[in-house]
Structure formats: C-alpha cells, structure tokens
Amino acid sequence: MLNPQASIDVIMFWLAIVATMAFAITAVLAIADRGVDIFGVMVLGVITAVGGGTVRDLLLGVQPFWVEDLVFVRVAIFSSLLAFVGRSFFTQPQIFKLMLYLDGLGAALFGIQGAMKTYEMAFGWPLAPVILGVITAIGGGIMRDVIAGRKNLLMSTELYAIPVALGCLLLMVSLHFYPHRAIEILIGCTAVTFLMRAAAIHWGLTVPAFLVTHSKSQ
C-alpha cells in the first residue's frame, strides 16, 4: 500500500502528464492557421510543453527535468501529432474550451511545482521562486509565440501569468509561516492558481484597463 507522500507523487505525475498533453495540443491549435508542417508542429508542441521547465532548470544550474526520463517529451510529441491529425475534433467549441481548462491546470501545476523546486534549492528566496514559477508555466508558450510570430502572453491582457504569479507568491508566504505543511500547501496553492485561471476562462476576465498601457495611435 502506498504511503500518503507516494500517493500524492503518483497523482501529481499523472496530472503532469495530462497537463503536458494539454500544453502540446493547445500549442498546435494556436499555430494551426500558420501553415506549419508536421515536423514544425512536433517541434513547437515539445517546446511549449517542456520549454519553461527547461529554462528554469538551466537558470538553477541543474540538468533539465526531462533528460533522465523522456516520458514528457514523448507525451508532447504524441499529443502534437494527435492535435495535427485531429484538428477538426479539437477545434469544436466544447472540446477546445475543455483544452483551455486543462491548459490552465497545466500552468497552475507546473508553475507551483517550479516555484517549489526553486524554494527547495534555497535559490533567491523569496522572489526567485515566484519568477521561476512563472517562467516554468509560460516560458514554453512564449517561445512558441515568438517562433510562430504571434503576440505572446506577456503582450496580451489575458489573465494567464498573473494567476500563476499570485499562486507562487501565496506558496512562498504559506511556506514561510508553515514550512512543516509543505504537501498541503503545494496542493492548496495549485488548486487556488487553477481556480483563478478557470474563473478567467469561464467569465472571460482580462487585466483591468487601468493596468494596461495603450499606444497613442489607439
């Protein structure tokens, strides 16, 4: 029988697999109108799925998380091909919205895990875990958008990075006061981050206008 920690690790692993699939699929759907070939689809899918975590690990000076176990790369390649072949299915309104929620779960999961990994390495507390948590969640998507010539997440008013940043900040504050409750805090902050992103998707929430710069030509 698995102990509680092992059970949580198994659950988090499978959630990460689902999140990786969502990242790769939404990456393909995002660039589907760019006329990308099947090889380009696989490259962009993998970059989106593992790019943020790779940048985080390089900044931390450790081996990228996917090197020893290529399961995440394999899942990203498979999911990218699945989205390429089944674009008509994944672009159906209900399915596409489901993928957005799963993508939001992925952002929450990877962001909080990235912040936790940085925290456990005592790297630049308290700001670095928050920054690297956000990079983990959105870094791959930014790389995809730059390569595909699209407007990236940091240049839009979509509430995507902000929920991750707030969740990572909540994680740091909670761990500071209750370091012995790390598992519960990790799960709770992941849930809070996902709920913020889910609310943004459900109600179409964006960054308030007074927090957005506007060009004079507008």
What is the C-alpha separation between 61 and 155, in angstroms, rounded? Answer: 28
What is the C-alpha separation between 11 and 190, in angstroms, rounded? Answer: 13
CB 152 within 8 A of CB 96: no
Among 7-11, 21-25, 136-140, the range scoring the smallest mean pLDDT is: 7-11
% residues pLDDT > 70 (the chain): 94
Buried b or exposed e, range 2-41, using 16+ CB within 10 angstroms: eeeeeeeeeebeebbeebbbbbbbbbbbbbeeeebeeebb
Indicate whether 139 belongs to any domain: yes
CB 42 within 8 A of CB 98: no
What is the C-alpha separation between 215 and 104, in angstroms, rounded? Answer: 29
Q: Count the domains in the chain.
A: 1
Indicate whether 77 belongs to any domain: yes
pLDDT over 60 at 181, yes or no: yes
pLDDT tens by residue, 39-49:
999 999 999 99
Query: pLDDT at position 216, please?
Result: 58
CB 9 within 8 A of CB 63: no
Residues 187-195, mean pLDDT to the nearest whole number: 95
pLDDT over 60 at 1, yes or no: no
Buried b or exposed e, range 139-173, using 16+ CB within 10 angstroms: bbbbbbbebbebeebeeeebbbbbbbbebbbbbbe
Indicate whether 213 belongs to any domain: no
Indicate whether 140 belongs to any domain: yes
Instruction: Give the confidence band of 69 by pLDDT, cuts at 50, 70, 90.
Output: confident
What is the C-alpha separation between 179 and 173, in angstroms, rounded? Answer: 10
More confident residue, 210 or 173: 173
More confident residue, 90 or 34: 90
- Domain span at residue 14 reads 4-207
Residues 98-107, mean pLDDT to the nearest whole number: 91
Indicate whether 191 belongs to any domain: yes
Angle, helices 71-85 vs 4-30, to 10°: value is: 40
Indicate whether 40 belongs to any domain: yes
Query: pLDDT at position 36, please?
Result: 84
Indicate whether 218 belongs to any domain: no
Across the chain, mean pLDDT equals 90
Residues 117-127, mean pLDDT to the nearest whole number: 94
More confident residue, 152 or 62: 62
Instruction: Give the confidence band of 4 by pLDDT, cuts at 50, 70, 90.
Output: low
Element (H or E) spanning 129, and its range? helix 127-148
Indicate whether 116 belongs to any domain: yes
